[in-house]
Structure formats: structure tokens, C-alpha cells
Structure 1
Amino acid sequence: MTYAPDLQQVVTEIAEEMRKRPDRGDVATYIPELARADPSKFGLAVIDAQGRVASGGDADEPFSIQSISKVFTLTLALGRIGDRLWRRVGREPSGSTFNSIVQLEYEKGIPRNPFINAGAIAVTDAILSGHKPREVLGDILRFLQFLADDNSITIDEAVAASEQRTGFRNVALANYMKAFGVIENPVDYTLGVYFHHCAIAMSCRQLALAGRFLMHQGRNPSTGFAVVNPERARRINAIMLTCGHYDGSGEFAYRVGLPGKSGVGGGILAIAPGKASIAVWSPGLDPSGNSHLGRIALEKLTHRMGWSVFAG
């Protein structure tokens, strides 16, 4: 008889292995506040289908989730306007860097997917329509607090201000989409909400809790109520698998085999449907802008636990 490995033991072992590794990647420097991150940090939290939590390293230390917030803004936008969202943003892998403007010009202002910067700005604009920026930002923050069952989750205002001071490329992307009518609201309003939701700070534990609905076919296990229907949960997971790591998405799918979404703060949210919600954090990035040790740790975790969506 084959016994399943003990999850906490596996997580503890991986956290210790990552702590000892000298290859840690490079922290993001184009957002000055993120350049202050300590590359020695590593955290991992896993919540299984029974609600058991396994954690290791710096799993309870908040970090800037950055583009991981795009999973939750996509969920909100689909809830508000449904499949009409896909008239303004595509669902295809980009094959380009997360802040590329070349592809946007070629495709007449329609972003390739909701997880590159242009696509996430368009999604943010869709949520904003008919509302005030402060109201929408409050909705996004409360949504994450609700999913994680934790009202202590906040926005790191220093990171948000740092992004607003230096986000010239995002300003260019938004104005370019505005010229094609993809952005409907004032650009400053849309970007203000975008910069602030990217600056939400969460720990690995909080992030893994927030991702549970994607493990449970759209249901929040804390309440039993549906956040999204099962079909929409599957589709969000599909976009995470194909687009969640920018031009490194194929490599992540090949090595980890799970839907995932990375952020330049060094975090990754990964979903093993029906099995686990996983969050990992290590600030050093690879050349594609994804957590270097985070991806390695997830590859080890899925191999040891047999959690790849491609497993037989």
C-alpha cells in the first residue's frame, strides 16, 4: 500500500531547501519600493481540500501581491459584466513581456489577456464603470478580505505611491487603449485603482485562503456559498494556466503543471483543483519577472504530492 506524504513535512522540507539555496534571482527595481525587498525571504503556505493548513518559512509575513491581484479583479469583472468583458480583452497567451506596448499596437488596442498589464488595466476599467474609484478600490479590498476571512488585509500606500510616481509605461498603455475606446473612464481614475489594487499586501497564508474558491469549483468553503459558478472557476483556472506567468507561462505549466498567477513582488498563487490552494513568496525574480525560488518550490511540491493537473 502507498501512503500519501505528510503535507506539513513536505512543506517544511521545501522551505528549508529554499532557505539554503544561493540562487535567489533579482528583486524588482523598476518600482523603487519593491527594490527594498529582502531576497533572503521565503514563505510557503498550502491549504488542502479539507481546510488543513501547512506552512513554512516566512508564510505569515505580508508582501506586495502585485499582479496576483489580477485574478481577483478578473473574478469581480466577470461577476459584474459577464462575458461582455471579452469584447475588451482577449484570452490568449502573450509571448511578450508583461508591460509590452508593441502587441497592443498590432492588435488595435485590445490586450491579449487579462493578466498582462494592459489587460488588467482594461479589466480594472470595466469594474470602475459607473462607480467612483474609492468605492471600487474598497470593493476589491473587501472581496479579498472576505475570501481570506481576514479584515486585516490592507493596501501598502508606500508601494502604491511608488508605482504612481514611476508607472510611465502603464500610463502609456492606458492612454493607447483610451485612443481605441477600450478604456472608457478617465485614465487617471482607472490607473489610480489599478496601482492601488496591485499594492495590496498579503501573506502566503492569507493569499492561499483567498484562492480556495478556485480549488473548490467556485465555492468559498468558509461559507459554502458560490463565489462564481463551477464553469467560471474552471475558465479562470484555464487562463491562469496559459497566461499567468507572462512569457514564462509555458515553462511554468511544463515544470509545475498547475494554474498559477505570479506578481513582481515575488509571490505566486497556484491552484491544484480539488486538492489545494498554494501561495509561495520569494522576492527574487527570474528574467520573465516571476519568482525564481517560488517556481522551483512549486515544482518540488507538485512532484512530491502528485498534484499536477496533467497527472494520470
Structure 2
Amino acid sequence: MAANKFSIAGNPTRTNTLVEFLEQEVNGVFAEVLYFPDQFNPDPSRVLRQKSKTYRNVSFKDTTFRNVSFVYCIFDGCLLLSSKFIDCEFIDCQFINTNTNKSQFERTFIDPAYFSKNFDLKADTNIAADLYHSLYKNLSNERQPDRAKESLYMMYRAENAHLNSQLDRKRIKLHTFLRKKMVHTFDFLTSGYGLKLHRVLITYVIIVLIFSGINYYFRVELFGDGVICSFLDSVYFTLVTLTTLGYGDISPTTQLGKLVVAVEVTLGIVVISLFLKSISSRVIKT
């Protein structure tokens, strides 16, 4: 089920005040309710606490939540269209199939992981990208770098999925889709869009192992007889080449060898660039 619905099905109950809304609670569950007031907390000078509540098929369209604390709460099939959360906090909450289109967060404590089950990235790509962008700005301002970084990562994932949606709806041409998809896929696999340093290290190790194997098993064709005598020699040469140190004590003697080494040097520069990008991203986000 997708989160891109824009109305509450059935015959939901309309409530015009917070008191009327709170009266709809049954065993901690608010179900099929339209909340019409523009403020959820009539007295924002005090914290309004909502603990262990489930909001199921509840519309909070254009509602401003100010100084509200949600603890162990579940938003299931709700509408948070153009809602604003200011000076709020969410602790161990969960969002499921909830439309967050144009929702805004300011000075709010929230974990992007609470939305892990909320979106179908085949149908909700625009909504998901918009939400994670809003969370990223909020969490960056609130000095929560790890959560801000995760929000940015999920925003890129949503944008990547959005390419499929655009192609299906014929909004972009196939060659544009393929070009952008290749860039997204490369960034995702090799560095997690510059946000996952461990992926850069994994990519580096894989490249070292692959080229060490190539350099060893084709050592005669690439380097001639007696240049590389063991697999350790091959690993040593590969590391020196990929890091562009180039000591020169081992070098290719054939045209094929020179071509392979040129590819290795190029990949080494790419991996180093990815590493520096990931480091700079972590420093800037922090």
C-alpha cells in the first residue's frame, strides 16, 4: 500500500476542537477522524504530551503542531498534508502509509528511521524525497549530523527511484534515464552518495583483489618473465599503482600491460576521489 492517498475513506468524524478530537480516543486509538483546527496544541507555551497513541486514518491537513511530544505513537494511513511540526519531539514512533506531502519540520527532534516502513518508492518517490529533504534541513539545523546524513541518503534513494517513475510516465527519454541511472547506481554502490565511507573502503578492497589477481595470473603477458614472482608481489604492485605512488621497481613491459596499468591508475584516482568526497561530506555534515 502506498502513502500517496489524499483523502480518508469511509465516513470519518469531523472534529472542530482539540477537546472534540481527544474524545474520539478508544483504547488509545484515534480512527477515521478529520481534525479541522489549524493548531493541535492550543497553548504552545506548555508541552502537549501524546504517549502510546495510534492515529489510524486521521487527517491533520494544514495543521500546525507546536510544542507537542509524541512518545511510542503510530501514524497509520494518516494525512499530514502541508502540516508543520515546530518545537516537537518524536520518540520511538512509527509512520505507516502516511502522506507527508509538503510537511515541514522546524526545531524538531525526530529520527528518519521512523519512516522506514512508510513509503513505497515505486509510487511515493516525490513525497519521500520531499519529506527527507525537509528532515535533512531540520536535523542539520538541530546539530544532529548522523540523522541529517541518513535523511540525505534516503532522499537520494528516493530520487533514484523517481527516475523509474519518470520513465514509466514518459517524462524523460530513455537515454536520459540511462545516463542518470548509471550515475546514481555508481554513487550508491561505491560510496553511498558520498555518505557511506565503508562502501568506499569495500570498493577499494574489491578493486585491489581483482587487479592483483589479473596482474598475477597474467604476469607473463603483462610484465614478462621473472618480474612478478608471487601473489604478494602482485598485491604490492597493485597497491602502489592504485595509490599513484609508482615506485618503478615493478613495471609493465608489454603494450597490454601498459594498458592494464593505465586502467588501474585511473581507477585509483577515482577511488581516492570517492574517499576524499566521503571524508569531506562527513566533516561538513558534522
The interval holding the TM-score normalised by the smaller chain is under 0.3
Which has more strand, going by share of residues? 2
Structure index of larger Rg: 2
Calculate the TM-score normalised by the size of structure 1.
0.21
Looking at both structures, which has the greater relative contact order when contacts are Cα pairs under 8 Å and sequence separation is at least 6?
1
Q: Give the TM-score taking structure 2 as reference length.
A: 0.22
